[in-house]
């Protein structure tokens, strides 16, 4: 189910560093080097496959941007926030 803007704002307050950007919840993660960045990317991929919910990701040498939305509901759902919590536990 698609969350309302009020529900999204409320849920964002429970997450560190996540923001509403272009209809997605997104966060940028910074790392010491490329090796750590890629280890994070692989861990996020594992979570995505386990949850059957795949984020958009932008990867650079020492940073990775992760963004979630749920295409089947046309917006942001509880599943996006549940996955964001799992990703946050990686760092």
Q: Superfamily for 5-88? A: Transcriptional coactivator/pterin dehydratase (3.30.1360.20)
Arithmetic mean of pLDDT, 8-19: 96
**Separation between Cα atoms, residue 84 and residue 44, nearest integer Å:** 10
pLDDT tens for each residue of 25-53: 999 999 999 999 999 999 999 999 999 99
The pair of three-digit structure tokens given for residue 80, joined into one six-digit string: 């996006």
Look at residues 38, 36, 26 and name the one whose alpha carbon lies nearest to residue 84: 26
The pair of three-digit structure tokens given for residue 48, joined into one six-digit string: 């995505």
Predicted pLDDT at 8:
97
Predicted pLDDT at 56:
97
Domain ranges for the chain, please list them: 5-88
Q: Which H or E run contains 36?
A: helix 34-51
Predicted pLDDT at 35:
98
């Amino acid at each position: 189910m698609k969350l309302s803007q009020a529900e999204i704002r409320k849920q964002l307050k429970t997450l560190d560093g996540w923001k509403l950007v272009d209809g997605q919840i997104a966060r940028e993660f910074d790392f010491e080097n490329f090796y750590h960045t890629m280890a994070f990317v692989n861990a996020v991929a594992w979570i995505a496959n386990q949850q059957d919910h795949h984020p958009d990701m932008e990867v650079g040498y020492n940073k990775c941007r992760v963004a979630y939305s749920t295409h089947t509901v046309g917006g942001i759902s509880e599943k996006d926030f549940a996955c964001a919590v799992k990703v946050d536990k990686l760092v």
